[in-house]
Amino acid sequence: MKKIEVPLGKRAFDIVVSAFLLISLSPFIALILIAMTIESLFVPSSRGSFLYSQKRISQGEMFTLYKIRIFKEASLENAKNGSGHVHTKKLEHNEENLTYVGRVLKKVYLDELGQFVNVIKGDMSLVGPRPKTVDDYERLVSAGYRSLTLLKAGITGYFQSHKGIKLHLNQEQIDMIYADFVENNPTWKIIFYDIKILLITILTVLRREGI
């Protein structure tokens, strides 16, 4: 199936919201940087870059995804598989892999702020299927997950926003419903639907159910 192009209005909405959030949250970003710097002075194992990056796939294309670093650099290096990719979800289950600041950021999902840069760059959208690692993308597409090839990856989606709520459809079915909605509705309806998903995502995060 042909890729679904992001409507111009949705793209403009993504940029405006992402830029607004980054500017509004810049004091928190500065505090995070200060906290990480202070921790690195006393805990050598926590030293490292402010951001870390991973190769992910969005709509069939590889890009560099950015997150605020919550892991110790040594843990990231040790977790690389044969292809050099890191499955960070596995690392998160053991707090020994996290810096002290990282443990706090993980609980309130502030490590995800780096992805707003990806949205502004055009690598991602605010709403869409979550971007996959190269290995996971190939495995899921082979298993029939068409939404990953059709839609631009998103920071959140209907499935992610409803974590903790029993859904009667699996993630691929829900993402395909969203793909059909984007393809067959005017831009204003898509934007309002995205706003609904973003608001539900905020509630989900506040309930600490993850995205």
Residue 154: strand pairing partners: 125
The pLDDT score that the predictor gives to residue 170 is 85
Using DSSP, state whether 65 is helix, strand or coil. strand
74 Cβ contact partners less than 8 Å away, ≥ 6 residues apart = 45
Tokens of 7: 């409507």
What's this model's pTM, rounded to 2 decimal places?
0.89
Angle at 130 between CA 125 and CA 133, to 5 degrees: 115
Mean pLDDT by 10 residues, the chain (211 residues): 88 97 95 97 94 91 95 85 69 89 90 95 95 89 91 90 70 91 96 95 76 58
Ordered by start, the domain boundaries in the chain are: 8-206
